[in-house]
Each structure stands twice: as C-alpha cells, then as structure tokens.
Amino acid sequence: MEIGLGTYLALAAVLFGIGALGFLTRRNMLLQLMSIEIMLNSVNLTLVAFNRWNPASHDGQVFAFFVIAVAAAEAAVGLAILISLFRLKKSVESDRADLLRH
C-alpha cells in the first residue's frame, strides 16, 4: 500500500464527515462543540499534509498553528456560552435555546 498525499486527504475527509455528522445529529451542546473540534482537526491535517508535499516553505504549518489558536479561543467562548445557557435553562440541549423563535 502506497501512502501518499491522497491517503491523508481521504482520512481527513472521513474525519470531517464524522465531525459534521456529530454536529448535525447530537442535541447536546457539549457534543456539538467536540464535533467542531474534530472538524478543525481534520482541516489541520489537510494543511499539514499539503505542506509535507511542498517542503520549500512552512506556510501550511503556520496556517495550522493559527487555526489551533483560534480553536482554543472558540472553545473557551463556546463553553462560557454553554455555562450561561445551563444557568438559564438547566439543560445543555441546543434546542432549548429558542428565545428568538417565539
């Protein structure tokens, strides 16, 4: 079996699909945030894999570094919103956040 660029891209596509599936099928906001992290990780994998086949520069790894930094900030704010929602509704279901619906 020849492991090349396509193998990494295929693995990243499968991981992104798993993350998207989790985000769309779970109602628990914690699980949705974890699914977002899985999707960001899979995109990071594509960036690093493309950088491996263009080793003249480090652009892909630098980009992945910034994605990791933004993901950390996003997780912190998302979990703060989750705690706020839990205080208001005593639940972590994203469907319970329906103030704008009524």
Partner 1 sequence: MSTSGELLFLICGFAATIAAVLTVTMRNPLRSAIALLVHVISLAGLYLTLHAHLLAAIQLIVYAGAIVVLFVFVIMLIGPGAMEHRSDTRGWVMKTIGGGLIVLFAGAITFSVGEATAPDVAIPTCDGSDPTCREFGSVEAVSSAIYQQAAVPFELVSMLLLVAIIAAIGTARGRTAAQKDEADPVEARRMALRPFASDPTAPSLNPAKISTVVGQGPLHPLEGGSEPEDHEHE
48 vs 97, which CB is nearer to partner 1?
48
Question: Does 99 participate in binding partner 1 (rule CB under 8 A)?
Answer: no
DSSP state at residue 93:
B
By CB under 8 A, the residues from 13 to 72 that bind partner 1 are: 13-22, 24-28, 30-31, 33-35, 37-38, 41, 44-45, 48-49, 51-55, 57-59, 61-62, 64-66, 68-72
User: What are the tokens at 59?
Assistant: 């652009």
Cβ atoms within 10 Å of 66's Cβ, excluding its own: 10
Question: Does 96 participate in binding partner 1 (rule CB under 8 A)?
Answer: no
CA dihedral 46, 51, 53, 56 (to 10 degrees): 170
